[in-house]
Chain A
Amino acid sequence: DTGVSQDPRHKITKRGQNVTFRCDPISEHNRLYWYRQTLGQGPEFLTYFQNEAQLEKSRLLSDRFSAERPKGSFSTLEIQRTEQGDSAMYLCASHETGKGEAFFGQGTRLTVV
């Protein structure tokens, strides 16, 4: 499978715990994006990378959120001290610079209890 893959698909965690999600983009895509989607809403942009550089972060990304893409390949999104309001689907997408179409992974559904 050469698409975007995300791991895990589902995560249930207790409030206050830290969680980390992983995204493996399509290998030749230099741009990687994280989005968050709550029930009944469209995805909202969180941050994006071009190669290993994090170029933009949304105001939605509080200090408890951090994302990395250390070698310009896979990326991780960590949420520290999770809150119930963090419960959502976290989507990763990649695309090639200059091309409009983005390719999405299946998402990681986070439930904070």
Chain B
Amino acid sequence: SQQGEEDPQALSIQEGENATMNCSYKTSINNLQWYRQNSGRGLVHLILIRSNEREKHSGRLRVTLDTSKKSSSLLITASRAADTASYFCATDDGSGNTGKLIFGQGTTLQVKP
């Protein structure tokens, strides 16, 4: 079953603008991850944030986590046409044992050159 919702479902911006995607989840977690998927391809890991962290950066990516609201956001700064893809958040199942991922429905990002 899907973990929660991602918002927006689709986002279209101009190159150079920032893109923000939000994710909500339902259960207690140990960590939350963001993945990227180009059309028809596999998923690529972007960043992992642990439940005791509030913010994490990696290059042009900034992830926040609010465990009290069970929500996370992914910010991509200075977007490029090559950032066009679907972005998924994924949580662990809370057990810390299985490594199983529970995905949201994704946000489709289009960056126009």
Contacts and interface: CB of A to CB of B under 8 A. Distances in A.
A complexed with B: yes
Interface in A83-105: 89, 91, 93, 95, 97, 100-105
Contacts, number: 67
A25 interface: no
A42 B92 contact: no
Nearest to A98: B99
B42 A100 contact: no
A22 interface: no
The list of the 3 closest CB pairs from A to B, nearest first, reads A42-B103, A104-B42, A104-B43
A112 B76 CA distance: 37
13 contacts: A6-B42, A40-B105, A43-B103, A44-B103, A93-B43, A95-B99, A101-B45, A101-B48, A103-B45, A104-B42, A104-B44, A106-B42, A107-B40
Nearest to A6: B42
A73 B97 CA distance: 20
A100 B31 contact: yes
Contact of A102 (B1, B2, B45): B45
Interface of B: 1-2, 31, 33, 35, 40-45, 48, 88, 90, 92, 98-106
Interface residues of A, number: 28
Given A43-B43, A97-B99, 11 more contacts: A4-B42, A31-B99, A35-B101, A42-B106, A48-B98, A95-B99, A100-B31, A106-B41, A106-B42, A107-B41, A109-B40
A42 B43 CA distance: 10
A45 interface: yes
Given A42-B106, A100-B48, A56 B100 contact: yes
